[in-house]
Amino acid sequence: MFTEPEVQTGAEVSAEETKESSTLKVIGWLSVGLVLAAVGVFVGHELFCRHKFNHRNPYDFYAHAGEKQTGEFGLGV
């Protein structure tokens, strides 16, 4: 009942480490890409809102002036 510990060769160890390393690299690059996309969307939205705010015209202040008011619910009973 004597068992010797298995000795792994250098090729087996490096293949496992390479597989784990490449998986972690892929996950890392995907997360970096997602963060950059999120930051890009946020910055683009802020720039668009600032541009839209700075390029207002006088008609924007009265955009809802011509709409008719709806009647109150329950009046005239």
Range of the domain at 39: 20-55
Classify residue 68: in a domain, yes or no.
Answer: no
For residue range 14-63, what is the model confidence (pLDDT) as tens digits? 767 788 889 999 999 999 999 999 999 999 999 999 999 888 887 777 76
Classify residue 33: in a domain, yes or no.
Answer: yes
For residue range 18-31, what is the model confidence (pLDDT) as tens digits? 888 899 999 999 99
Classify residue 34: in a domain, yes or no.
Answer: yes
Classify residue 48: in a domain, yes or no.
Answer: yes
For the chain, the domain total comes to 1
pLDDT value at residue 9: 57
Q: How far is CA 18 from CA 10, 13, 32, 75, in A?
A: 12, 9, 21, 76
Classify residue 24: in a domain, yes or no.
Answer: yes
Q: Angle at the Cα of 63 (from 45 to 46), degrees rounded to 5?
A: 10
pTM: 0.54
Classify residue 10: in a domain, yes or no.
Answer: no
Cα separation, 43 vs 56, whole angstroms: 20
